[in-house]
Amino acid sequence: MALQADRKALLEGLSGKFRNTIIDTLFKIQTGHPGGSLSAVEIVTTLYFEKMRVDPKNPKWPDRDRFVLGKGHAAPILYVALAKKGFFPEKDLETLRQLGSHLQGHPCAKKTPGVELSTGPLGLGLSAAQGMALGARMDGRDFRTYVLLGDGEIQEGIVWEAAMSAAKFGLDNLTAILDYNKVQLDGTTDEIMPLGDVRAKWESFGWHVIEIDGHKVEEIADALDRAKAVKGRPTIIVARTVKGKGVSFMEGKNTWHGKPISREEYEAAKAELGGGK
């Protein structure tokens, strides 16, 4: 079902707000990863505010949909979405990465309500998400498991071990989303480790592949619906994105992977994002 105009406007509005909050927070704490967080804003927003079945008052509800942030360094966008959703107070965001906070530099499932899996060391997310999907099927539960992968992250060998097994086990209740921004830490993926034909690779491993623009909420929503309809095999949504999206001087730049934001940069970024909080 196509995304209705009011829903589209709502998701876009939230995305804009979330970008502002991410920049505000990372500027304030002078640490953290802006590039990869901004890249995933629409994807995470559409999941949590349009598609996923979760209950912030009952974060451990057994039938909840699961979201795994494979690329754990994008924790800020996850935290912003979880806070808005009501898993914890929005003012907690100010404590990100500070001593005593439940908001760790990378997601910690033991500390933060709504975080399903501790991530940070790249590559483990897809395998773990598979386990969740397998558990759902064994118990006859109809929840879906979503996992967001970085395109640098898929250079890890374990990702391809998981790609093989998820296909073997026919996990059609698992949807992976690739944040295909073509930039990693040291440079572009082409410079550091070319990914080749991403669609052909996943297809040859037995996956259904959908390609979309990862900043268009209607395309994301539609792809998530289509993935749900695929039976007998897992689906990966290859979402073309821009690392640092929304802040022109960060866009496409590996140097903005994990750099503190200066006062001037903060003001320029806020002007572009239209301010607001």
Ligand X SMILES: Cc1ncc(C[n+]2csc(CCOP(=O)(O)OP(=O)(O)O)c2C)c(N)n1
Our CB check for ligand X shows the closer of 3 and 117 to be 117
Which residues, numbered 115-134, are part of the site for ligand X (CB under 6 A)?
120-123
Give every CB contact of residue 142 below 8 A, 6+ residues apart in sequence: 63, 136, 173
Residue 80 · residue 70 · CB < 8 Å: no
**Smallest distance from the beta carbon of 183 to Mg ion, in angstroms?**
5
Stretch that binds Mg ion, among 59-67, 112-120, 145-153, 218-226 (CB under 5 A): 145-153
Binding mask 236-275 for ligand X (x = CB under 6 A): -------x--------------------------------
Q: Does 120 bind another protein (CB under 8 A)?
A: yes
Q: Which of 118, 127, 130, 145 binds another protein (CB under 8 A)?
A: 118
Which residues, numbered 46-85, are part of the site for ligand X (CB under 6 A)?
71, 73
Which residues, numbered 43-102, are part of the site for another protein (CB under 8 A)?
72, 97-101
Q: Does 181 bind Mg ion (CB under 5 A)?
A: yes
* SS3 sequence of 210-232: EEEECCCHHHHHHHHHHHHHCCC
Q: Which of 25, 39, 165, 175 binds ligand X (CB under 6 A)?
A: 39
Output Rg (C-alpha) for the chain, integer angstroms: 17
Q: Does 37 bind another protein (CB under 8 A)?
A: no
3-state secondary structure of 128: helix
Q: Does 123 bind another protein (CB under 8 A)?
A: yes
Which residues, numbered 175-204, are part of the site for another protein (CB under 8 A)?
184-186, 189, 192-193
- In angstroms, the CA 180 to CA 36 distance is 10
Our CB check for another protein shows the closer of 119 and 175 to be 119
- In angstroms, the CA 166 to CA 147 distance is 13
Our CB check for ligand X shows the closer of 41 and 136 to be 41
- In angstroms, the CA 65 to CA 170 distance is 18
Q: Which of 173, 181, 188, 235 binds ligand X (CB under 6 A)?
A: 181
Our CB check for ligand X shows the closer of 185 and 268 to be 185
Residue 169 · residue 130 · CB < 8 Å: yes
Sign (positive or negative) of CA dihedral 267, 182, 173, 126? negative
Helices (H), 30-88: 34-39, 41-46, 75-85
Our CB check for ligand X shows the closer of 17 and 33 to be 33
Q: Which residue is nearest to ligand X (CB)?
A: 150
- In angstroms, the CA 255 to CA 247 distance is 13
3-state secondary structure of 2: coil
- In angstroms, the CA 259 to CA 277 distance is 22
Site residues for another protein per CB under 8 A: 31-32, 72, 97-101, 103-106, 108, 118-123, 152-153, 155-157, 184-186, 189, 192-193
Residues in the site for Mg ion, rule: CB under 5 A? 150-152, 181, 183
